[in-house]
């Protein structure tokens, strides 16, 4: 089992490296959309400070939704996906590895990019570590829940937009917990509670998502 996990992680990460152009797009999107907000709404730094948590969170959510469609698509098209479902290990393990890699190559870079953007939005410095922690946790649950949507739509030729429609309402709690955490620390309120909700949500998603994803993959692969 450990060998399989090692092998899958290695495969996913080398593939991600070889397709690195695809991975840059969500990052560019993140930067671009965040920088549109001040131009569209206000350049007043005080008002931006108030909004910064929400803006960063909404943009991070949209950016990682963009990359979800690629999670299973290539494997579906070349037939690797059905082999994964026939693997001698539980397919949930392979799926979880894929989700983890997706997070490593989208959620983590988005988080690492967030300090730069938080300066542009005048987020107070002391809130930055909390923002990054909430983004790290939140993007992981985005990858977990998003994998269900990606699995449901992988068989459709134009699944990308549908995937967004399916998964967005389910992600509302992530957005709310994440934004509330950041806003709480900006306003000087107690924030650890909100972060704990986010953690609990992620833990729940971690427990359920792999099973639902495998069930959804079976729907897409089996005819």
Partner 1 sequence: MTKLAVANNLFCERDDRILFKDLSLNITQGEIVHIKGPNGAGKTTLLRRLIGLSWVVEGDLSWHESVSESGIRPDGHRFWYLAHRPAVTLMQTPLENLAFAVAMHQADVSEPSLWAALADVGLKGFEDVPAHSLSAGQQRRVALARLYLNLPQIKLWVLDEPFTALDVQAVSQLETTIESFAEQGGTVIMTSHHGLHHTSVRELHIGAAA
Partner 2 sequence: MWQLFVRWFHKWSSPKWFYEMSKPWSFWLGWAALLITTTAIIWGLGFAPVERLQGNSYRIIFIHVPSAFLSEAIYVTIAIAGAIGLIWRIKLAYYVAKICVPLGMSMAFLALATGAIWGKPTWGHWWVWDMRITSMLILLLLYIGLWALHNAMERPESGDRAAAILALVGVVNIPVIKFSVNLVTTLHQPATLKFTEKAPMHISMLIPLLLSILGFYLAFLALMLVRSRIEILRRERKAKWVQQEIEQLGNR
**Partner whose footprint covers residue 80, from partner 1, partner 2, none (CB < 5 to 8 Å by kind):** partner 1
216-to-59, 213, 223 alpha-carbon distances in Å? 27, 5, 13
Given partner 1, partner 2, none, residue 105, with its beta carbon under 5 to 8 Å by kind, binds: none
Q: Is residue 168 helix, strand or coil?
A: coil
Counting Cβ atoms within 10 Å, is residue 21 exposed (0-12), middle (13-18) or buried (19+)?
exposed
185: left (phi over 0), alpha (psi -120 to 50) or beta: alpha
Q: Which helix (H) or strand (E) holds 166?
A: helix 159-167
Give the Cα separation of 163 and 69 in Å (integer). Answer: 7
Mask for 8-37, x = binds partner 1 (CB under 8 A)? x--x--xx--xx------------------
Residues 52-91 contacting partner 1, CB under 8 A:
74-75, 77-80, 82-89
Residues found near partner 2 in the complex (CB under 8 A): 145, 148, 152-153, 155-156, 159, 162, 165-170, 172-173, 176-177, 179-180, 183, 194, 197, 201, 204, 208, 212, 215-216, 219-220, 223
Residues found near partner 1 in the complex (CB under 8 A): 1, 3-4, 7-8, 11, 14-15, 18-19, 74-75, 77-80, 82-89, 94, 221-223
């Amino acid at each position: 089992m450990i060998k399989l996990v090692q092998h899958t992680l290695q495969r996913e990460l080398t593939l991600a490296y070889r397709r690195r152009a695809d991975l840059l797009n969500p990052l560019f999107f993140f930067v671009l959309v965040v920088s549109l907000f001040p131009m569209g709404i206000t350049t007043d730094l005080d008002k931006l400070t108030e909004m910064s948590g929400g803006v960063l969170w909404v943009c991070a959510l949209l950016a990682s939704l963009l990359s979800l469609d690629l999670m299973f698509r290539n494997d579906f098209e070349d037939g690797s996906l059905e082999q994964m479902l026939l693997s001698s290990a539980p397919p949930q393990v392979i799926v979880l590895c894929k989700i983890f890699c997706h997070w490593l190559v989208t959620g983590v870079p988005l988080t690492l990019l967030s300090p730069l953007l938080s300066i542009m939005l005048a987020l107070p410095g002391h809130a930055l570590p909390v923002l990054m922690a909430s983004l790290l946790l939140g993007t992981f649950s985005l990858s977990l829940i998003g994998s269900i949507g990606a699995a449901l739509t992988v068989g459709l030729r134009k699944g990308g937009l549908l995937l967004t429609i399916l998964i967005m309402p389910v992600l509302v709690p992530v957005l709310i917990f994440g934004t509330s955490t950041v806003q709480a620390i900006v306003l000087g309120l107690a924030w650890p509670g909100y972060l704990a909700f986010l953690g609990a949500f992620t833990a729940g998603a971690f427990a359920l998502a792999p099973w639902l994803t495998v069930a959804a993959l079976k729907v897409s692969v089996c005819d």
